[in-house]
Amino acid sequence: MSEALQANPVLVVDFGAQYAQLIARRVREAKVYSEVVPHTMSVNDMLAREPRAVILSGGPSSVYAEGAPALDVALLEAGVPVMGLCYGFQAMVQALGGTVAHTGRGEYGHTPATVTDTGSTLFDGQPAEQSVWMSHGDSVSQAPEGMRVTARSEGAAVAAFEDDERRLYGVQWHPEVLHSEQGQRVLENFLWKGAGIPADWTPANVVDELVESVRSQIGPGRVLCALSGGVDSSVAAALVQRAVGDQLTCVFVDHGLLREGEAGQVEKDFVAATGVTLIVYDAREQFLTALAGVTDPEQKRKIIGAQFIRCFEQAARDVVGHADADGHPVEFLVQGTLYPDVVESGGGEGAANIKSHHNVGGLPEDLQFTLVEPLRALFKDEVRAVGLELGVPEVIVWRQPFPGPGLAIRIIGAVDAERLDILRRADAIARAELTAAGLDRDIWQCPVVLLADVRSVGVQGDGRTYGHPIVLRPVSSEDAMTADWTRVPYETLARISTRITNEVREVNRVTLDITSKPPGTIEWE
């Protein structure tokens, strides 16, 4: 990440909220760069980042409970624009001398709120009556001195306040969730009007900054990238290629476990669009031989991982073993790490030596690279926007998340060429019909599962059949941590079922998985 992009972020202070990352995403959607920091970070460290604004998240605690996270009033006196949400709102009140009380009238979920000043900074251009998403048991009974109350609800006489002179703002609800009808506009008004931040976090600007950063990091060195065909590795590769051109070599291991047409997308469409140098390892027979007769899903994963390591090791030896004409060896490895990965792993920074446990599939311990992570400041939706800006084909940019072990873990039972063919054809039909119905952006992922070790009786034509069942698993999610099954229209489901049972003769039954996560997982294995 370049210094220009890191400079002057909007800091989202996490008080233990389930929505902290979502707040940062919403700020990014307002075209303003943001980062999540823990509430334990000192005010001095926050101010050292020279933030353009600070947003205080919600949290599970009561502000007056013993051990509850406290807010240092020095942050509110530093002249930096601050906005508090839910717990952050109440923490501001407590720090500034207002009153937070347990009134016995909590508000949860959809709640009507009344804006008492529709010309204020936060609520300019919004209706006086709006539905917001509340989640509080305590309420602010007295606003701090100097704060102008600009909204109320039945259970909160002080539901929002503003102080334009000190540039301090707060709302009792969660504007970051979609259930708050005007939530994004409230955040945008704070950022653009209250804090005066320009909306300059755009895909074009991001690409320019990241290309310059990668170019500066790599210099004349050579780079290796394990290309899976997924969104993250494809966009990372395209970005590095834009920065350093033929100094990058991508390795694509074709293990024969991809869906219909995906290997071709990588080998032809991606290369044509980006001009990247690609080495393809055809390891289909090698993977099928290793997987023969294996039914345990964990064993499948381990076998696939081990085979991938061997293939990538060979590719690394082939590429690394030869310096370029100017004598530059391969010393960098590209990885598609995203911002949620950084936050969830504790925000570790710095270059790293890639070991065999790493998610590129692993490398020998004596083969060391400096890590290049051009996407580590981005969320998934931003990665897609950057990919489109770079010219990555839309079919790759909007590709649904797909597991590393591929179709092997969507076959319940042993994996062989015949079963892969059955599943590929069924999966292609399901994807085609969901696309035709315009549901690609509504569905996070739709695994198609082959119950290879299960047979059911059916009738096709005038004869009795004994075929395989197929399971459709359409789910909606923002981050895959939780998910709900997607309510696909019956007409679309009917077309999928009819086409699969007509065109894939080995299948005589199509079923629908309507389990949420939790308790179920998105993939079956």
Q: Which residues contact 115 (CB under 8 A, 6 or more apart)?
A: 123, 126, 127, 128, 129, 130, 150, 151, 160
Distance of alpha carbon 252 from alpha carbon 229, whole angstroms:
8
Q: Which of 39, 174, 255, 468 is catalytic?
A: 174
Closest to 492 in 3D by CA, of 459, 453, 446, 525: 446
Report the distance separating Cα 30 and Cα 478, nearest Å.
18
How crowded is residue 109: how many other Cβ atoms within 10 Å of its Cβ?
Answer: 10
The helix or strand, by DSSP H or E, that contains position 214, with its residue range, turns out to be helix 203-218
Is 176 assigned a catalytic role? yes
Please report, for residues 43, 84, 331, 377, 460, the alpha-carbon distance to residue 54 in angstroms, rounded to integers and kept in the order given.
11, 9, 38, 18, 64
Tell me, yes or no, if 86 is annotated catalytic. Answer: yes
As given in the structure block, the two tokens for residue 180 are 């708050």
Catalytic residue chosen out of the listed positions 86, 250, 311, 446: 86
Q: Which residues are CB-neighbours of 298 under 8 A, at least 6 positions away? A: none
Question: Nearest Cα to 278, choosing from 245, 252, 312, 239?
Answer: 252
- Give the residue ranges of DSSP H helices in 30-105: 43-48, 73-76, 87-95
Cα(279)–Cα(222) distance, integer angstroms: 15
Active site residue 358: no
Tokens of 362: 């692993």
Separation in Å, CA 176 to CA 25, 192, 203, 266: 9, 16, 21, 36
In whole angstroms, give the CA distance from residue 171 to residue 139.
11
Interacting residues of 454 by C-beta distance below 8 A, sequence separation 6+: 412, 468, 469
Q: Among 35, 107, 162, 176, which one carries the catalytic annotation? A: 176
* Per-residue tokens: 267: 């080998």
Integer angstrom CA distances of residue 422 from 157, 395, 448, 500: 62, 23, 11, 10
Q: How many residues does the chain have?
A: 525
Radius of gyration of the chain (CA): 26
Q: 3-state DSSP: the chain helix, strand, coil percent, rounded to 5?
A: 35, 20, 45
Query: Which positions are annotated as active-site residues?
Result: 86, 174, 176
